[in-house]
Structure formats: C-alpha cells, structure tokens
Amino acid sequence: MAAAPEARTRTDRRRERTRAALVGAAQKFLSEGRSAVSIQEITEAADVGFGSFYNHFGSKEELFDEAVRAVLNIYSEMRDDIVELYTDPAEVFAVSFRMTGRLQRQLPEGVRVILNSGTSILLRDEGLAPRARHDIVAAQEAGRFEPMDPDMAVMAAGGALLGLLQMLDARPEADAGTLTDEMTFHVLRMFGMTKRAAQKLTTGELPPQPQL
C-alpha cells in the first residue's frame, strides 16, 4: 500500500507563499523590462525579508528563469487541455496559434514576460517551442505541411507569433481575434497549405478560452 502523502505544515505553507511572492515580483519586473533590478529591490517588491531570498533561489538569474517558466507553464496547461479535442496535427497547430494570440488580452503581464525574454524563449525546453515543433513535425509527416527543417520552422512561426503579440500589446484597441487569425493564415500558407485549407483552419469556431 502506498504511503499517505505527508501533510503540509504551517512552515511549508509560509515557504510556498514566500516563493510565490518572489516569483510574482520577478514577473512584474520582467513584464516591465526591468531585469537589472537588485535582489534587494525584488525582496522589497515581494514584501519578504532579504535573507529569505537565498532559502529559495541561488541567484537573481535563477529566480528570473523560474518566473519565465511559471508563465510558460500557464500557457502549456491551457494549450494542452484545448488541443486534446483535435486529431489533425495541422489543426492542433492552428488552434494553438489562434488561442495564444488571444491570450495576450487575457494575460497581458504574462505575455510581456515572454516578449521581454526575446527570441531566446523559442530555445527553451518548455512552453511554446517544443509543442510547436511537435505539431509541425506531425503535420509534415501527415502531409499537411510541406517539408521544412523543424527548428527553422519553429523560429519562423515563433517569430511571427512574437511579432503578433508585440503588436497586440502596442495596440490595445485592436481586435486580437481578427489579427491573430490573419497571422495564423499566413503562417499556414508559409508551411505550404493551400489558401482554402488555411482559411478553413482559421475561420472555424474555437473552444471557449479557459479561465486563468
């Protein structure tokens, strides 16, 4: 018989709150493009003691990396739940792209964390890039996308997505759904889909955007 999970203590809960506060403060700074802040500024923003920082992170860089990872995990959970509804890999890619663009209006601060990370976000082992790569390769193998080096394809699609998110951030009055679907259409065409097929994948109804 498996052992029962150990009950969380008050100390555990306090440590979790402190860690979450540090990550939240780091995300706030990153969303503002302020990566040069000191650890003192971070702990003050998190309203935790300076000494407690090193109980959770070995450096500011480690904290910032975790802050980015936390945002990507939110995206990943949202995306993975949604694409379970689809079997066509090209449609999975299109739905992922369309939902991610719309996420800018739902999670603007988190999207700014991604934007301020630059194109290096496309080299990470979690979040956007590995899922896009998987979908692109699957669509190529199914004959839905034309052959292209997967890493180059990720960079091309990822660059288009980051550009879209940057534009939506700069234009809060813009229709995020319309612009995202237009960009998805052009990316699908870049991957070799016909105009008709790309239109079909970018005009269909999407599942409800999840509550975050």
Instruction: Indicate if the alpha-carbon torsion angle 165, 151, 35, 48 is positive or negative.
Output: positive
Question: Within a domain: residue 150?
Answer: yes
CA proximity to 79, closest of 209, 174, 169, 199: 209
83 vs 148: CA distance, rounded Å:
23
Q: Read off the DSSP letter of residue 144.
A: S
Task: For residue 41, name the pLDDT band (cuts at 50, 70, 90).
Answer: very high
User: Same domain for 24 and 98?
Assistant: no
User: Same domain for 53 and 68?
Assistant: no
Q: What is the pLDDT of residues 79-127, one digit of tens each?
A: 888 888 899 999 999 999 999 999 899 899 999 999 999 899 999 988 8
76 vs 70: CA distance, rounded Å:
10
Residues 6+ apart with CB under 8 A from 95: 82, 83, 86, 206, 207
Q: Per the structure, how many domains does the chain have?
A: 2
Task: For residue 5, name the pLDDT band (cuts at 50, 70, 90).
Answer: low
User: Same domain for 117 and 172?
Assistant: yes
User: Same domain for 51 and 73?
Assistant: no
164: domain range? 64-203
Question: Within a domain: residue 8?
Answer: no
Question: Within a domain: residue 105?
Answer: yes
- What pTM value is reported for the model? 0.87
Question: Within a domain: residue 5?
Answer: no
CA proximity to 124, closest of 168, 91, 101, 158: 158
